Chain A
Amino acid sequence: MSKFSIGQKASFTKQITERDVATFAEISGDKNPLHLDDAYAQQTRFGARIAHGGFTFALISAALGTELPGPGTVYLSQSLKFIKPVYFDDTITATVEITALRADKGIVTLKTECANQRGEKIAEGEAVVYHDDAKTQ
């Protein structure tokens, strides 16, 4: 029997700081002024600097890689739709929930969602991953 089951859930929470956004900009090379330039961001419809949308991917990756299915997870695919912006100092919770299991192949499909501290959904999508423990012995 696989140690995983449909409906199983886990989450990973992180506050996104200004320093995180600066680090993300450095690693990715994405220096869009919407993330880095106060004066520019204030003139946009967001009214303030926002975090890179892709940051939510990073938190989903953390939920998958450290919580469910956990260490040993290999990413096969991820889709994500960005719904609302993430502002600095927002606390984002990435939740992953198993929706399908293929025990013969060790493949796990999960619904992935990110919400902020106000409970607003900021991103949603689906991940497909491989994990040894999802395989029937």
Chain B
Amino acid sequence: MIPYVGQMATSTRTLTQDDFNRFAALSGDDNPIHVDPVFSARTKFGKTVCHGMLLYTLICGALDQHFPGARQIDQDLMFPTPTFVGERVTVRLQVIDVHPTQHTARLETLITRPNGEIACQGQTTVRWNDA
């Protein structure tokens, strides 16, 4: 399916400590701010913080769900505010540019927290014809 400019899709996900622990084991990033609730309680954050890159993986998941077959060529990410364990985040993808002959599209990728604050903002280029 060819994406069209303005096309929008959203997914939601509640982030659990188990998600953080599994991502830490997978990536090797076991920074205590992500995996140690006792340590994190003593920091200015008060609880464990989601890995920025775990948020990014939710973009991968949303892309696969809403734009099956699309493969990422690049991705820019910004993390304006921390996202905490237990928060339900919304991932929104919006197509902003399409190059049908090159089989590529540019999408805005946005993850918001329950209070409406931006957890992760960026853009990606995808290619959808790898056959």
Binding site for B on A (CB under 8 A): 12, 14, 20, 23-24, 26-32, 34, 43-46, 52-54, 57-62, 64-66, 71-82
Contacts and interface: CB of A to CB of B under 8 A. Distances in A.
B74 A81 contact: yes
Contact of B54 (A12, A27, A60): A27
Given A24-B57, A30-B61, A75 B71 contact: no
A65 B22 contact: no
A20 B23 CA distance: 10
Contacts of A29: 11, 13, 58, 60-62, 64-65
19 contacts: A26-B22, A28-B64, A29-B60, A29-B64, A30-B63, A44-B131, A53-B72, A54-B72, A57-B53, A58-B26, A59-B27, A61-B51, A61-B52, A65-B31, A75-B79, A76-B79, A77-B77, A77-B78, A81-B73
Contacts, number: 118
Nearest to B73: A82
Chief secondary structure at chain A's binding surface: mixed
Nearest to A75: B52
Interface of B: 11, 13, 19, 22-23, 26-33, 51-54, 56-65, 68-69, 71-79, 82, 130-131
Contact of A59 (B19, B28, B56, B71): B28
